[in-house]
Structure 1
Amino acid sequence: MSHSSTALIETRSGLEHQVGVVGAGPTGLLVAAELAIAGVDVVVLDRYEAPDTTIKAGSINVATAEILDRRGLRPAAQAAQQRFGEELKAFAAAHGTPTPMSGRLAAGGRASFPSTGHFAGLFFRPDLLDQTDPRIAAHPGAGSSVMVRQSETEALLGAHAEALGVEVIRGVEVTGIDPLRDDQGVEVGIALSTSRGPFRVGWVVGADGGRSLMRHLAGIDFVGTDPETTGYQAIAEMDGLERLRPGWNHTPTGVYSLGPIPGRILTVQFTGAPDRAIRDQPVSVEELQASIRLVTGQPVTVKSIKGRATRWSDNARQAVTYRAGRVLLAGDAAHVHSPFSGQGLNLGAGDAMNLGWKLAATVNGWAPEGLLDTYTTERHPIAAQVLDWTRAQVALMRGDDKTAQLRRVVQQDLLSNTATTTYMVLTTSGIAQRYELDSGEDEKPPHALVGSVIGDAPLSDGSRLADHFHTGRFVLLDRLGGPLAHTSARWSGRVETIVEDTAVAGCPESYRVLTGLLVRPDGVIAWATETADADEAVAVLIAALSQWAGTATQILEAVTR
């Protein structure tokens, strides 16, 4: 946003920023970047003086890798994966184990869909994944950028937000929120009380973690299930590691995982929630060592911890709504669960993408009625499913004999066939998620692709479909010779249009048969058609654009008439 535009905001309403994001983790940075790419003036406030380098998720899923790709960040993610790969290779060489990156080449050396993953420590077999499944075929190439650690993801999102002009202010503690009203008593914004004085903003996005103050101050209930485990994760220097097995291991007293990088250890003990008296204190060498010995039954000695270790539980809770007036929640502020499979980072990225463009449309004044409320209705069920997924994993990790037998059934009878493995990989990858969206047609059901996440495809001009999302606008594919493109021009500045005569070689079959495709800024398919009737396609496209992109630009409407 230009300085003149900012001054105009201050003159009209006394606001300093259109949106304030509280929390500079991956979710907060991504939602801020999505707002900035749409021209919204946004500030990010974070209580920490520096980015959090605590060891957390070791990878991102396919859906998150594709989010980065659609915003032009694929090269940075690929570079991060390459760096991580060197560490994985070093661990594998030292322990004689395969790396998590193996098994990603299909016959003939072609890049395949990434199949590395696990459910409760039971790993999926790459050879059992159906690489011909049409849903998988529509998402090529993501395997080159999924092994990106959370710290690296946060760093590249921070650089992305900075390049878009986002102001990130660290070392600021937000302590309160109060409504701002105009002379007629209408609420026009929120005053954030902070350790550096007040910040007057139009909207607040709470991305401030599982103990979110923004959620508490907004009066949003946080419901779910209490924890029964305490877990630890660290990079440590240890003696006695020869007594432990690499990978995930179940024991009568819990679960531990050694690797896949040198010094990385994770433990899960079924001893209830972490002690509240120490939950805000750093994990000590003695505490980590006690957990390792309890779970493994081996006299491992922890000599030192590199960086900060994490302490966590399987507390699983979700905000009953993601919006209270001008306060919205995203990421861990909206939902918490155990970190198994690293779903928290991916869930937060999905929140940020869904919320960013909708809040930007609201701030910029063109949002269709009720658009911002679809953030909760679309994302809440997705998080609920993830919470249940993580609860099931905790149940499968218990150390009793009956659970051990259940694990054998799951691994030997369920995860030993192609259909189940493909389903599990599709679910953990994030590409199986689907929103229940209207078709824009009163009498016809929506196309099967509507509501699903867009993959990628080569285009006739030599570009990829993903290349056209860098500006954060709607993307329209017109294979009917121009009438769809002509129609979308009425939404000037909101839609990027691609016109091609026919699909090119290498285009996934599910996209090859389409004559028209409209994708929202968050990568969700809003409309698709296979009809050759241009008049029919134009009529439904207008309905879809009106539903999601608001009223057509009036000046261009007049010209069109």
Structure 2
Amino acid sequence: MRNAVIVVGAGPTGLLLASELALRGVRVTVLERLEEPDQTIKSGSINVASAEILDRRGLLPAAEEVQRGRLAASGAFTTGRMNRTVRALEDAANEKSRRFAVIGHFAGLMFRHDLVDQDDPVLAAHTAVANGIFVPQHDLELLLGAHCARLGVEIRRGVEVRGLRGTGTDLDDDADVVVETSAGDFTAGWVVAADGGRSVIRRTLGVDFVGTDPELVGYQAIADFDDPSELRRGWNWTPRGIYTYGPVPGRILVARFTPQPEDRDAPVTVEELQSAVREVSGIPVTITGLHGRATRWSDNARQARAYRRGRVFLAGDAAHVHSPFSAQGLNLGLGDAVNLGWKLAATIQGTAPAGLLDTYHSERHPIGAWVLDWTRAQVALMRGDERTAQLRKVIGDDLFTVPGATNHMIALSSGILQRYDVAEDGEEPVGSITGDAELSTGGRLADHAHDGRFVLLDRSAEGRYAEAVRGLEHLVAYVADADASEPSLFVRPDGIIAWADNVSDDNARKLLDTAIERWAGV
């Protein structure tokens, strides 16, 4: 049977994208090589922007449940700054007044919640998801998998994708695409490759994957040690690399500046992991076993020159790879998925304005390039030489202890400062992520975004903007909330503000009509 869309890869990016398409009635099949969800330890949390994606789709309660369980498992194990981070998250969960979730680090320099100005309006606009941040990648995949199941997404596991071909002259034709797999051929109108950094689809397309070569080799695992008492919890730098122990029992991450192994695909043995931990930490620990598989990774930083070729798109690690510090890759992929999903669905259903699909590359490619630079800077700051150590001390002790600097770095890391050029004459907040947008009548704007439509939040006293979306109920959710202290907003399905009435009344309606036509196609 022909599919409207085939998504290759059932990681977080692929699952979120599939759910975004299914939410709008698009038939989608996900093809995944692994028989079961990957239990390998990877990213330990998501950022605020990603948690807000879940919030807009009604998935925040599930994320909060995961965080409660993870905090219970981690709290007794952590010490020092990591312990303060865990305690801060627990305190935020127990308070009636929400606070911005402070979690994460830059090059191993932990963000200090006690230095954050919670009255900063930038942070204060993004506090609703504070209790749904501590969500590891495996738990996120289970959460999104359940979401896909409720929406009727077909996930075919144990299917290895080997290539693809066009049904026309070539893949650039406006024709169906055939995905060649171990289970036979699958035909679809569109294909999205979310099949990881070594994407078969990207290689088949011949898309250039450009960037910088790796400097380090890293490992991550849940391990049993005969005596881990000398391993310092939290982030630790040495002349030979960096390691962190915790926050969950047995979790070890270690990176050393050394050439890449000859066989990067070889399984990580206990001996290899133990050697790396001993070399970097200088502690003669003995690893007695592993829980699941250990992973090996590097800071290879590359990005596809183009995120689209004809009817095939690249998303997540298939479009960009870099070091995994701070889970930036996971969050970047979720941003790709929520940006592309509604645009592709609108194109398939015939409601998309001309050129809408081209904005996927133009909006997401610059964000990906910025994240690659962000991660390169962290690796540079992790080097073990004396001068880098001095620089790290200046940044950690002098710069990161300044509340204003701390706020800005946390906002950058959390993803809430990402912005698109969505209107030629758009002024703030146009182009930015909407955040909490609480309503004077109760509830929040996110409560009206669960079905994936655009949202028009009309805060005018007389509901002057209602006429602009009359008859468009299938595309736009209209929310009346008279509150003259805040601007009215037209918000895209991905949470980006496409219009705000912070201009004169005479021109505001005209600009709203322009935004609706540009993004909703009507």
TM-score, normalised to structure 1, is 0.89
2:68: which partner in 1? 82
1:513: which partner in 2? 486
CA separation in 2, counterparts of 1:234 and 1:76? 25
2:510: which partner in 1? 539
Letter of the 2:511 counterpart: V
Q: Tell me, yes or no, if structure 1 residue 210 matches structure 2 residue 197.
A: yes
The equivalences for 1:57-76 within 5 A come to: 57-76=43-62
Letter of the 2:23 counterpart: I
Q: Tell me, yes or no, if structure 1 residue 357 matches structure 2 residue 320.
A: no
Q: Tell me, yes or no, if structure 1 residue 470 matches structure 2 residue 467.
A: no
The one of 297, 306, 317 equivalent to 1:312 is 297
CA separation in 2, counterparts of 1:181 and 1:314? 39
The equivalences for 1:213-228 within 5 A come to: 213-228=200-215
2:502: which partner in 1? 530
Residues 493-534 of structure 1: CA deviation (Å, up to 9, x unaligned): 11001012226xxxxxxxx421x210000000101113572x
Letter of the 2:507 counterpart: E
1:508: which partner in 2? none
The equivalences for 1:471-490 within 5 A come to: 471-480=451-460, 481-490=462-471
CA separation in 2, counterparts of 1:276 and 1:489? 63
Letter of the 1:545 counterpart: I
Shift of the alpha carbon at 1:109? 6.9
* Secondary structure in structure 1 of the residue aligned to 2:499: strand
The one of 214, 221, 245 equivalent to 2:232 is 245
Can you give the 5+ residue segments of structure 1 that lack an aligned partner in the other structure? 1-14, 440-444, 504-511, 552-561
Q: Tell me, yes or no, if structure 1 residue 377 matches structure 2 residue 359.
A: no
* Secondary structure in structure 1 of the residue aligned to 2:178: strand
* Secondary structure in structure 2 of the residue aligned to 1:283: coil
1:160: which partner in 2? 147
Q: Is the 8 A contact 1:90 1:262 kept in 2?
A: no
Q: Tell me, yes or no, if structure 1 residue 195 matches structure 2 residue 182.
A: yes
CA separation in 2, counterparts of 1:325 and 1:208? 18
* Secondary structure in structure 2 of the residue aligned to 1:91: coil
Residues 76-119 of structure 1: CA deviation (Å, up to 9, x unaligned): 000000110111113137x9972532235589873310112211
Letter of the 1:81 counterpart: Q
2:427: which partner in 1? 447
CA separation in 1, counterparts of 2:389 and 2:197? 31
Can you give the 5+ residue segments of structure 2 that lack an aligned partner in the other structure? none
Residues 258-304 of structure 1: CA deviation (Å, up to 9, x unaligned): 1011001110000022x142x22321111110110011111100000
CA separation in 2, counterparts of 1:531 and 1:407? 45
Mark the CA change 1:288 to 1:463 in structure 2 (over 3 Å): closer, same or farther: same
Shift of the alpha carbon at 1:336? 0.3
Q: Is the 8 A contact 2:209 2:303 kept in 1?
A: yes
User: Which stretch of the first structure deviates more once superposed, 186-195 or 151-160?
Assistant: 186-195
The one of 496, 502, 516 equivalent to 2:483 is 502
Q: Is the 8 A contact 1:112 1:140 kept in 2?
A: yes
Q: Is the 8 A contact 2:48 2:133 kept in 1?
A: yes
Letter of the 1:387 counterpart: L
CA separation in 2, counterparts of 1:404 and 1:97? 21
Shift of the alpha carbon at 1:250? 0.2
Mark the CA change 1:545 to 1:96 in structure 2 (over 3 Å): closer, same or farther: closer
* Secondary structure in structure 2 of the residue aligned to 1:381: helix
* Secondary structure in structure 1 of the residue aligned to 2:422: coil
CA separation in 2, counterparts of 1:546 and 1:97? 48
Extract structure 1 runs of 4+ deviating beyond 4 A. Answer: 104-109
CA separation in 2, counterparts of 1:222 and 1:469? 35
Q: Is the 8 A contact 1:62 1:430 kept in 2?
A: yes
The equivalences for 1:393-412 within 5 A come to: 393-412=378-397
User: Which stretch of the first structure deviates more once superposed, 299-308 or 186-195?
Assistant: 186-195
* Secondary structure in structure 2 of the residue aligned to 1:228: coil
CA separation in 2, counterparts of 1:126 and 1:90? 19
Q: Is the 8 A contact 2:173 2:310 kept in 1?
A: no
Letter of the 1:529 counterpart: D
1:11: which partner in 2? none
Q: Is the 8 A contact 1:180 1:187 kept in 2?
A: no
Letter of the 1:288 counterpart: L
Q: Tell me, yes or no, if structure 1 residue 30 matches structure 2 residue 39.
A: no
The equivalences for 1:139-178 within 5 A come to: 139-178=126-165
Q: Is the 8 A contact 1:240 1:299 kept in 2?
A: no
Shift of the alpha carbon at 1:178? 1.1
Q: Is the 8 A contact 2:174 2:310 kept in 1?
A: no
User: Which stretch of the first structure deviates more once superposed, 421-430 or 123-132?
Assistant: 123-132
User: What do you get for the CA RMSD once the two structures are aligned?
Assistant: 1.8
Count residues with an aligned counterpart.
517
CA separation in 2, counterparts of 1:546 and 1:269? 52
Q: Is the 8 A contact 1:447 1:529 kept in 2?
A: no
Shift of the alpha carbon at 1:482? 2.6
* Secondary structure in structure 1 of the residue aligned to 2:17: helix
The equivalences for 1:221-370 within 5 A come to: 221-273=208-260, 275-277=261-263, 279-370=264-355
CA separation in 1, counterparts of 2:328 and 2:262? 25
Residues 165-196 of structure 1: CA deviation (Å, up to 9, x unaligned): 100000011112111249xx963210111111
The one of 403, 416, 421 equivalent to 1:436 is 421
1:48: which partner in 2? 34
CA separation in 2, counterparts of 1:165 and 1:329? 23
User: Which stretch of the first structure deviates more once superposed, 111-120 or 395-404?
Assistant: 111-120
CA separation in 2, counterparts of 1:96 and 1:335? 31
1:3: which partner in 2? none
1:10: which partner in 2? none
Letter of the 1:271 counterpart: T
CA separation in 1, counterparts of 2:199 and 2:292? 24
Shift of the alpha carbon at 1:345? 0.7
The one of 10, 16, 32 equivalent to 2:2 is 16
Letter of the 2:437 counterpart: A
Letter of the 1:34 counterpart: E
User: Which stretch of the first structure deviates more once superposed, 19-28 or 96-105?
Assistant: 96-105
